[in-house]
Structure 1
Amino acid sequence: MSMALSFFVPLILCVLFGLFYIPLARKIGIKEFVLLQSFKKKQGTPTMGGIIILLALVASLPFLYTSDYFIILVFATLFFAIGVTDDALKITRRSATGLRWRTRLILQFILAVAFCIVFYYTTSRSIPYLLFNGLFLVFFVNAFNITDGLDGMAAGNFIIILSGLFFILLAIASTALVPFVLAVIGATAGFLVFNAPRAKLFMGDAGASLLGSLLAMIAIFAKLKYFVFIAGLFIVIEGGTSIVQILSRMVLGRTLFPIAPFHYVLLRLGWGEQTIAVTSWIFTLTLTLVFVVASL
């Protein structure tokens, strides 16, 4: 499959799936429940849109197949399933609360350990890396979930980071993952057609779990975790501030920050949603370009 087809086939499929899914989701009640008053205008927007990204990738898989792609996609689908469960509970309860956070974290760690064991026996036999890979995977799954708070923010940052990873893979002549990386970028770009401000479709916890796990596992297979940490600094800050906030409340009995995650701080300062999303894209693009140019 040529590079152009690797990108455009999933993109077109995702757009087609989206055109079908959005009216279906409205009809059967797969809609966002919003807790914060400032986000009430988003109430009722179709959610769980990550399904169209996954369907586009699965439909493209016959053209992309290698064992690495299959392993990544299987585990990404399992992380997606955890997110679907979380979303489904929120929808049926008409609440912002889905799975208990401990339950979700336990399930994520079980999947992360299973993935790392498979990676250990198929690719890299290193115990320290195995442990770090598991933490890396769970962190980015949750960090993307946290970042997916504003229209287009998570998907846009994801596309920029993964595009940078694509160019680095080309630069170091490591082309085995290139078709799959392009397919993931294409499918997510197709989703962004519906998710860009003002969003007609949200990815939900299902989609955020899918994208976070895909990015982390691709970085692990490509041995480019350090790049994802640097280029994805905005995602790291989003996830990190929330984790520190939770831990400080548990350990110290008080919160360390006035509010978390970081984009809530910007909202409180009076920044508009679209301004925050676009600024995050520019920030991530700048870091990505600097890193890619330095790698050439």
Structure 2
Amino acid sequence: MYIFEAKALFTFVFSFFVTLYLVPIFSKIAFKWGILDSPDGKLKKHKAAIPYLGGVAVWLSFLITCSLVLPFENQFFLYIFASTILLFIGLVDDLIALTPSQKIFGQFLAILCYLKAGFYLKINFFSNVWNIFISAFWFLSIINAFNLIDVMDGLASTVAISVAVFFLIFAFCLKQTSLILLLLAFIGSLSAFLCFNKPSAKMYLGDAGSLFIGGFIASIPFCLSWSEYNFYGYFIPLILCAVPLIEMFTLICVRTLKRQPFFCGSPDHFSIFLQEKGWSKYLILIFSFLTTFLLGVLSFLFFYNYLSLSFILSLGILVIFIWFFLLL
């Protein structure tokens, strides 16, 4: 076996088993300190209180693994620092319920660290201001999109793993070895956590975990050398992340039409809608995985010029309209 393949295998296996070890520890800590998600009979319909600290276990496993397999350079330090800010903001929100403005402020601090580390667009015919503005908006959107879909056992984890796997395939195709290891550490950590997060969940990501996951997924497109092969590759992250992005967009629209603040919770999520139609949680997870898998296949066909941008946009608009009117 080649050295890199061995290192890649070690990265995935190590992160997987470290998470398996850490989750029960953080579960005990959560029960001891009362860091629990208690049912409220409205949006939170689980039967018993569930510990929140799964996201901390995933983050710590990811951090330990990356520290072993990746060089600890300045960019990596800023990257980890940004992820830690998101984790901390989410953890504080899990404990004392921050206001939306406080959460957004914390997210902007993390986004500034990502930008400082070089995670932003570098499109030549855009000015630096536009490149940074679009990148910041992308970070803010994806971070909150993954936070919003984390309303059902295993949903955010399943979608994030599916998206990360396709980013991993692109990283293999583009021969970006450091990115491959980074993605394997993330996939291994989150896959192990899914063993505890699948229905019926024994542990939740919490806002700490969903914000960390969103920040990670948002940062990956800036690591891939899209433009060296196909300029339209910049649209691929939009395709891969369509499930959480459409969920966020439709929630904002539906809540606005219902004259509800878009940042307040409501039962207008697609997963809750499908459960009310009689779908089981496992079936919704399978549906979400297959949808993301199909989006991944479409992204490859698009990247290699088998599908046009107009076809992808038309399909996306059609899906948004169907999704939107089903939830109204």
Q: TM-score per shorter chain, which class?
A: 0.7 to 0.9
- In the other structure, the counterpart of 1:189 is 191
The separation in 2 between residues aligned to 1:163 and 1:22, in whole angstroms, is 27
User: What is the CA deviation profile of residues 218-257 of structure 1, one whole-angstrom value per residue up to 9, with x for unaligned ones?
Assistant: 222325653221022111111112223444466x999xxx
Q: Which amino acid aligns with 1:180?
A: L
Matched, 1:278 2:277: no
> After superposition, where does 1:1-296 map in structure 2 within 5 Å?
2-37=7-42, 39-60=44-65, 61-67=67-73, 68-89=75-96, 98-119=97-118, 126-222=128-224, 226-248=235-257, 260-292=268-300, 295=303
**1:28 Cα deviation from its structure 2 partner:** 2.7
Q: Is this contact kept in 1: 2:79–2:117, CA < 8 A?
A: no
Cα RMSD after superposing both structures: 2.7
Which has the bigger relative contact order, CA under 8 A and spacing at least 6? 1
The separation in 2 between residues aligned to 1:112 and 1:18, in whole angstroms, is 27
Structure 1 residue runs of 5 or longer lacking an equivalent are 90-97
Structure 2 residue runs of 5 or longer lacking an equivalent are 227-233, 305-328
**1:127 Cα deviation from its structure 2 partner:** 2.4
The separation in 2 between residues aligned to 1:28 and 1:120, in whole angstroms, is 36
Give the stretch that moved more between structures: 153-162 or 217-226. 217-226
Give the stretch that moved more between structures: 30-39 or 77-86. 30-39
The separation in 2 between residues aligned to 1:58 and 1:276, in whole angstroms, is 30
The separation in 1 between residues aligned to 2:293 and 2:121, in whole angstroms, is 33
Provide closer, same or farther for how the CA distance between residues 143 and 122 of structure 1 changes in structure 2, counting only shifts above 3 A.
Answer: closer
Q: Which amino acid aligns with 2:273?
A: V
Q: Is this contact kept in 2: 1:57–1:184, CA < 8 A?
A: yes
Task: Give the structure-1-normalised TM-score.
Answer: 0.86
Q: Which amino acid aligns with 1:72?
A: Y
**1:280 Cα deviation from its structure 2 partner:** 0.8
User: What is the CA deviation profile of residues 178-228 of structure 1, one whole-angstrom value per residue up to 9, with x for unaligned ones?
Assistant: 111111111111111111111111000000000000110122232565322
The separation in 2 between residues aligned to 1:9 and 1:240, in whole angstroms, is 37
The separation in 2 between residues aligned to 1:239 and 1:42, in whole angstroms, is 27
Give the stretch that moved more between structures: 270-279 or 147-156. 270-279
